[in-house]
Chain A
């Protein structure tokens, strides 16, 4: 009940009309930032951080966190329309979102994505409001071994379920791991695979790789197939939103699962990107339509978006209560708190009530505002597909190049992006899957360092991975996920065998 009263106070903070203005400005900027690949939420917030210096901390965080919500929403737009993930956590959205757009269902895909985002955020903010004190300390139970188990679970829930041959999956994944290894090794502080080149010091950034692999690769494919977007006949009116909403309730289980996975990974903090992959993997495995995933299933858009937004929102909890950022954007916001003179940590909820509850109230309002802003733009964005390919393709390439440059302010990254583009094209032609490569690239680094931290901590003893109930459960779940196809096969064989006639089937 206390939480409820505090929340009402929080809404009172928002009654200052300037705060509402900042919120809308933030959302619109955020959507733009989310749409531009490369210019992620973290960069966007970092650039605007010094501008907020003369605002009150509450107004400042409302504006900056609204940019974050906007970016979470906006990331889905280019994923669906052009197969270019605007943000790392919208990679999984491309798997089914883009095929939907190609079938002329762009409006439907966008509505699904935005609604999913909103539901995820809403569940997460409810958790923030009512359970914050109880679950804040959950993150403290996560040491290196537990983090590794989380990444392992993400891998295991994702691999072994594609249609491609397992060897191709393995090859793509290994390529991803080796690309992830380039640059400084965080455990020994040594350079790896840089061959004395200054440009390779940065390693291969995940964002640049996905812009190339998905965006440029897709454009190359489209060029080959006749210089036109498929699915340009997309209907472009607001009715599509309502029609999509009618279809969504039957996916309630997917939404619930996505939200829970997202909240868990946000609070841990594992991040929105693993959450989106894990949620997609789980949805594919447990959905009745699982086999059709990847060909334009609504559920395949709904699952990752719910999880990504839930994770992005709940990542604020460990940031506020423990000072550990759950995402790159949260890391920048954390810096902002310190600059405004607020000390994140266990006492923030006690000493800075106005600030904390103002922020939480703004998450509610910000997401409603965000949903309204993005839904009204659905017809607009879907109409982009009607622009002739010969006009829009060069613009996309320019935007991709700018995006790739923005990540590190490095000219070399544009060439890297183009190389990845060719690689993406070759992968598609030879029907190698891209997803395992991308997953390995984004999680390889994190999984490797938490594995080695765990090994350091246990002096090389592997038993640290079933040392306590938490890590043991996570590892066991991973193994079940990894061998699920075999387990499912076994279960089916067992079920289909009519009693008493088993010997005949053998």
Chain B
């Protein structure tokens, strides 16, 4: 019922907008689509997390450089591990004034909770970046390389090693499950509220390891409290700025090189509701392309050691299909599917 009301309001707004556009339309000049009112930027996570930071960063860059003619407003819809936000977009069919930023819960939440949505229920716009994951241990521990740590896990008992992570049956626990499958030993996975908490728990020696993003661990790394062992990517990170003792992000080996054949990257992508036109999608693709050119964005990518792969259109869609498959596979093997 609520949706119908909203839809009819939207319809009314759309008609009004068309009339407005029509009256100011200069015949003969082909105008591309532009938003006619405030655009909602949905974050399917709480305030303060990684996705929220990126969304507000994007809002700031777009506002400062005047990349959009209408305001962009960030709205958090974090209920049910993000399901609330995705369902909102899925149910806003044809609304071009709504975009959503994704994290891995795009794939994991429907599988883990059974709430019905998938990436195919929305219109993919662009992949903005990929978040890297690094295997961290406390700097006072004896594990100097990923191989040391893996061997210790293999030599120890089931559940002897504690892995801390953010959320349950999300990216951190999926990587943990992949580690378990590679080492053949069970790890104790302890879910915490946020990445900062996890890093602090590791510094305080309450857990043995974590798979924090680079930005969550970097300050403790530079202060000599944490040690990065390997990165879960196919190649080392490209960032060569010195962090501490002549080491940089690029000096961290991949986990595969270290004998731990696990790869995981988290999508930071933009989606729109289903049923929008190609012209509307093209508008947002263009906006985000401009965002990528700004110095602020480049600095942000550099600070967070993001993988800056950018994709749109069919390329992005086939990447998504493959990622969805990988998640389903990993989560099925780990027994994370909703019953």
User: Within 8 Å CB of A53, what residues of B?
Assistant: 60-61, 63-64, 296
On whether the beta carbons of A201 and B84 are closer than 8 Å, the reply is yes
Q: Which residues of B lie under 8 Å from residue A318 when comparing CB positions?
A: 200
On whether the beta carbons of B52 and A186 are closer than 8 Å, the reply is no
Distance to closest chain B CB from A140 (angstroms) = 4
Contacting pair B215 A144 (CB below 8 A): no
Whether B97 is near chain A, meaning CB under 8 Å from some CB there, is no
Q: Please state if A189 and B48 are interface contacts (CB–CB under 8 Å).
A: no
Q: Are B303 and A201 in contact (CB under 8 A)?
A: no
Q: Smallest distance from the beta carbon of A427 to chain B beta carbons, Å?
A: 26
Q: Whole-angstrom distance from the CB of B213 to the nearest CB of chain A?
A: 11
- In the docked arrangement, what's the CA distance between A408 and B82, Å? 12
Kindly provide the distance from the CB of A407 to the nearest chain B CB, expressed in whole angstroms: 10
Check B112 for interface membership: any CB of A closer than 8 A.
yes
Known A53-B64, A201-B115; contact A42-B47, beta-carbon cutoff 8 A? yes
Q: How far is the CA of A347 from the CA of B244 in the complex (A)?
A: 12
The answer, yes or no, to whether A497 is at the interface (CB within 8 Å) is no
- Asked if A332 is at the interface of the complex by the 8 Å CB criterion, the answer is yes
A453 touches B190 (CB 8 A): yes
Q: Is A104 an interface residue (CB 8 A)?
A: no
For the complex, what is the distance from the CA of A53 to the CA of B114, rounded to whole Å? Answer: 39
Residues of A within 8 A of B63 (CB): 50-51, 53
Encode contact with A along B166-197: 1 for CB under 8 Å, 0 otherwise: 01111001000000000000001111111011
Indicate if the CB atoms of B167 and A339 lie closer than 8 Å.
no
> CA–CA, A203 to B173, complex, Å?
23
The complex places the Cα of A54 from the Cα of B65 at a distance, in Å, of 10
Chain B 102-136 interface 0/1 with A at a Cβ cutoff of 8 Å (1 = within):
00000000001111000000000000000000000
Which of A183, A187, A338 contacts B215, CB < 8 Å? A338
> Within residues 283 to 322 of chain B, which ones have a CB less than 8 A from any CB in chain A?
296, 299-300, 303-304
B219 CB contact (under 8 Å) in A188, A191, A347: A347
CB-defined contacts of B299 to chain A, threshold 8 Å = 341
The reply to whether B223 and A346 form a contact with Cβ atoms under 8 Å apart is yes
The total of interchain contacts (Cβ-Cβ below 8 angstroms) comes to 175
User: B111 CB to closest chain A CB, in angstroms?
Assistant: 10
Instruction: Say yes or no: A189-B81 contact (C-beta < 8 A), given A50-B63, A143-B204, A345-B222.
Output: yes
B-contacting residues, A189-230, CB 8 Å: 189-191, 194, 198, 201-203
Is B256 interfacial (CB 8 A cutoff)?
no
Cβ contact of B113, chosen from A54, A190, A345, A408, cutoff 8 A: A190
Cβ-based interface call for B220 (8 A): yes
Question: CA–CA, A194 to B83, complex, Å?
Answer: 12
CB distance from A41 to the nearest CB of B (A): 11
Is B196's CB under 8 angstroms from A324's CB? yes
Question: Are A331 and B194 in contact, CB atoms less than 8 angstroms apart?
Answer: yes
Question: Which of chain B's residues have a CB closer than 8 A to the CB of A46?
Answer: 47-48, 52, 56, 74, 76
Number of A residues near B (Cβ < 8 Å) is 56
**Inside 8 A of B168's CB, which chain A residues have their CB?**
185-189
Complex contacts, B194 vs chain A, CB 8 Å: 324-325, 331
Q: Is the CB of A335 within 8 A of B56?
A: yes
What residues of chain B lie closer than 8 Å to A185, measured between beta carbons? 168
Contact residues of B between 86 and 107, Cβ < 8 Å to A: 87
Do B218 and A343 touch (CB < 8 A)? yes
Q: A184 CA to B59 CA in the complex, in Å?
A: 28
Instruction: Scan B51-81; emit 1 where CB is below 8 A from any A CB, else 0.
Output: 0110011011101100000000011111111
Residues of A within 8 A of B76 (CB): 46, 408-409
A43-73 at interface with B (beta carbon < 8 Å): 43, 46, 49-54
Contacts of A202 in B (CB 8 A): 78-80, 84
Flag B308-339 by CB within 8 Å of A: 1 or 0 each: 00000000000000000000000000001010
Q: Is the CB of A338 within 8 A of B219?
A: no
Contact between chains at B113 and A189 (CB < 8 Å): yes
Interface mask (A157-177 → B, CB under 8 Å = 1, otherwise 0): 000000000000000000000
B272 within 8 A of A: no
> Would you call B188 and A456 a contact (CB within 8 A)?
yes
Contact indicator per residue, chain A 343-370, by CB within 8 Å of chain B (1) or not (0): 1111110000000000000000000000
Question: What is the minimal beta-carbon distance from B56 to any residue of chain A, in angstroms?
Answer: 5
- Whether B48 and A325, one on each chain, are in contact in the complex, defined by CB atoms closer than 8 angstroms, is yes
* A50 x B219 contact (CB < 8 A): no
A290 interface residue per 8 A CB criterion: no
| Contact A323 B56, beta carbon cutoff 8 Å | no
Contacts of B300 in A (CB 8 A): 339, 341
Within 8 Å CB of A188, what residues of B?
168-169
What B residues does A187 contact at CB under 8 A? 168, 191
Q: List 21 A-B contacts (CB under 8 A).
A: A42-B47, A46-B47, A50-B63, A51-B60, A51-B63, A140-B203, A187-B168, A189-B191, A190-B113, A198-B83, A202-B78, A202-B79, A324-B197, A331-B194, A339-B53, A341-B303, A343-B303, A345-B219, A346-B219, A409-B76, A449-B193
In the complex, besides A50-B60, A339-B56, 9 extra interface pairs with C-beta distance below 8 angstroms are A54-B64, A187-B191, A322-B199, A338-B53, A338-B215, A339-B57, A343-B219, A348-B219, A459-B159
8 closest cross-chain pairs (CB), A and B: A345-B219, A331-B48, A201-B80, A189-B168, A202-B79, A143-B206, A189-B169, A53-B60
